[in-house]
Chains A and B, each alone.
Chain A
Amino acid sequence: MKYLLPTVFILLILALSSVLWAKVYITIDSPGRSRFPIAIPDLKNTGIIPDVRGYSKDLMKAVEKDLDLCGIFQIIDPKAFLEKEGAMERDKVNFQDWSAIGAEGLVKGGFALKEKEFALDLRIFDVIQGFQISVMSYRGALNNLREMGHRVANEIVRAFTGEKGFFGTRLAFISSVTGDKEIYIMDIDGENMRRVTFDRSIALSPVWSPDGTKLLYTSYKMKGPHLFVHDLNTGKEHVISQRPGLNIGAAWSPDGKRIACTLSYEGSSEIYILDENGGNPKQLTRTYGINVSPSWSPDGSRIAFVSDRGGSPQIYIMDADGKGVQRVTFSGKYNVSPAWSPRGDRIAYSGMRGEYFNIYSIALDGSDMIQLTEGDWNDEYPSWSPEGRYLAFSSTRDGHPELYLMSSNGIYVRRLTNTHSGVLCPAWSPK
């Protein structure tokens, strides 16, 4: 009995230390966080073939560009580096040389060129503690170093924040650059923008299938708002719903088997669930009013949506069978475009206060409403990153609608497009 208290005490210390060991260096969601200073010296060539063309520099430039995009890191200028010998092994790194210049994180690596291949041996260090927190090996094609750069950047983000980054994901969106609203996709860093639809009609509200291979969207190309699926691999399209009246605002369930959307073929605009081919309609709402913009919870058990049943457009949630309807927003006279966070605990939406729309985030029970953007312009159509720590949205803050990304607390905002043509309805790919 007399050993009980000390035993418990020791166990507690052990438990605590195991928690401390999995250290999270940066929490993206915490407000007012200054950037984490990180040093990324040149990679060391550990192979036989000399890197005449500068592949390793290209790779690290791509990595740094990604790290800059997510707004967490401050990359220290290489001119400030003190350490001369480029040792990679943890016991050979002179951490004082790095902490002296203010670095808290350090990324080192060795590479080797093969005929068409690039091999990378990556080490990530915690400078303050002198720990090696990650060791990873990568192999990739020389002509696709961009993709390896994304994987490296994702790992660096994971090492310091506990969750991997969003590099390599894409945005689908609507652009009017041709004069008609068409669907485009691009990598999250703005590269590889390509046109998806050539309908010369009105395309709206693209959403991704959970496996990231298809887009579901609304189009007027068959003389009415109808729902279509576009296969990004084959380029083929087929119609999902062309019932009389509205067929709009669709969202794929997380398991890919159901599609929630708004149909009005039975009279008023209500939320329905269709199977993945657009059949077997199940009516969920029955208000004879306006019910639009369904957004699934990440576990597929509930749906957030917009309804005017209370007299003005507000956000509600309900079970996936239509029961248990609860109102979420009570502040403001016009709240639309709900987006359920992939973390499951919050809903982002666009709310009108006065003349303009800004992005808000709110807890599921309607508490803890946070205004994420502020200004006399329109911020609309929020879309979460797959891990739920960032939001893409469209904003007219620079005059006409372009796409932006921001951290989920609204603190870090970064512009993504520069099309001058009006870009809207961003949808962040699931992977």
Chain B
Amino acid sequence: MMPEWRSVMKKLSLTILAVVLMVVVVGCPRPPTREMAEARSALESAKDAGAPTLAEEEFRSAEQMLAEATAYMDEKKYDDARNSALTSKKLSEIARDKALKRRAPGEAQAGEAGTAIGEAGAGVIPEQAVVTGKGSLGEGVTIKELEPVYFAFDDYTLSEEAKDILKINAEWLDKNKNVRVQIEGHCDERGSAEYNIALGERRAKSARNYMIQLGIDPSQLSTISYGKERPKDPGHNEEAWEKNRRDEFVVK
């Protein structure tokens, strides 16, 4: 009787150990060391290309984003770190490309091409776009082609569903490079006005960073937060709150 009991115990403990190991392996996020390394080297490449002077704004964004990623690494916030590292790498590549264009002969043409998205794009709504509403301060419009994405309570991370929508939005923006879009971050009504303005900004930046990672020119995307001030649904229940935790894409 005794040896049988012992072997059952042994099997049980091994099973428990295996389960625990699986949970640890699956549950614990992998530190994004590769993404960090790639971001760092992308920043170096941009620096080598002269980006700090030739593409100052883009370079500074890339640098800032890398600093953010490093801070997240220190705090073991690995998902946030990975995200920021990916965005930083993209921004570095953009900065490097811009710097190289400016150095190359025929700089005048390069300069003009570079401003195509700049001033000319303001206020252009493509004819075929279907307008679905207005921006939160009454200006600009939301269009059918750019759908909102939604968030969980007190959260700014993108769900897989949100990422799918952003990919579609990014495709449209890629086809309409002269359209500038403002990403509005919104929250449900719970919590202080101030905390929600900050959360709304994180939601808007989440979407913007992801779309930059997908290759959208950062100058096509601006962000603003309205916190809980402009709900889509004025209700005071979970149904309404779900609809209000969103990013809206407004074409100005």
Within 8 A of B (CB), among A267-299: 267-269, 286-288, 290-293
CB within 8 A of A381: which of B68, B137, B192, B226? B192
| Chain B hits for A205, CB < 8 A | 193-194
B223 to chain A, nearest CB (A): 8
Kindly state whether residue A210 has any CB partner on chain B within 8 Å: no
List residues of chain A with CB within 8 A of the CB of B68. Answer: 267-268, 288
Please tell me which stretch of A40-48, A54-62, A241-249 contacts chain B, meaning at least 4 of its Cβ atoms lie within 8 angstroms of it. Answer: A241-249
Q: Which listed residue (A224, A245, A290) contacts B195, Cβ 8 A?
A: A290
Q: Check A223 for interface membership: any CB of B closer than 8 A.
A: yes
Report if B190 contacts A (CB, 8 A): yes
CA distance A201 to B65 in the complex (A): 32
> What total of A-B pairs shows CB separation below 8 Å?
87
State the main secondary structure of chain A at its contact with B.
strand
Tell me if B245 is interfacial: C-beta within 8 Å of chain A: no
Complex contacts, A402 vs chain B, CB 8 Å? none
Complex-state Cα separation, A306 to B65, whole angstroms: 23
Name A381's closest neighbour in chain B (CB-CB).
Answer: B192
Min CB gap A281→B, angstroms: 16
* Residue of A181, A205, A246, A286 most packed against chain B (CB within 10 A): A246
Docked Cα-Cα span, A425 to B193, in Å, equals 9
B18-26, B104-112, B168-176, B197-205 - interface stretch: B197-205
How many of chain B's residues have a CB under 8 angstroms from any CB in A? 25
B192-A336 in contact (CB<8A): yes
| Distance in angstroms between the alpha carbons of A212 and B215 in the assembled complex | 51
Q: Is residue B154 contacting chain A, with contact meaning CB distance below 8 A?
A: yes
Q: Is the Cβ of A292 less than 8 Å from the Cβ of B137?
A: no
Contact digits for A219-253, partner B, Cβ 8 Å, 1 yes 0 no:
01001110000000000000000000110110000
Query: B225 contacts A246, CB within 8 Å?
Result: yes
Contact A290 B202 (CB under 8 A): yes
Task: State how many angstroms separate the Cβ of B70 from the closest Cβ of chain A.
Answer: 9
B191 within 8 A of A: yes
Q: Tell whether B233 is near chain A: CB-to-CB under 8 Å.
A: no
Does the CB pair A334–B224 fall under 8 Å?
A: no
8 contacts between A and B (CB under 8 A): A220-B226, A249-B194, A266-B64, A288-B80, A292-B195, A336-B195, A357-B190, A380-B192
**Interface residues, chain B, CB within 8 Å of chain A?**
64-65, 67-68, 71-72, 75, 80, 137, 154, 190-195, 197-199, 201-202, 224-226, 229
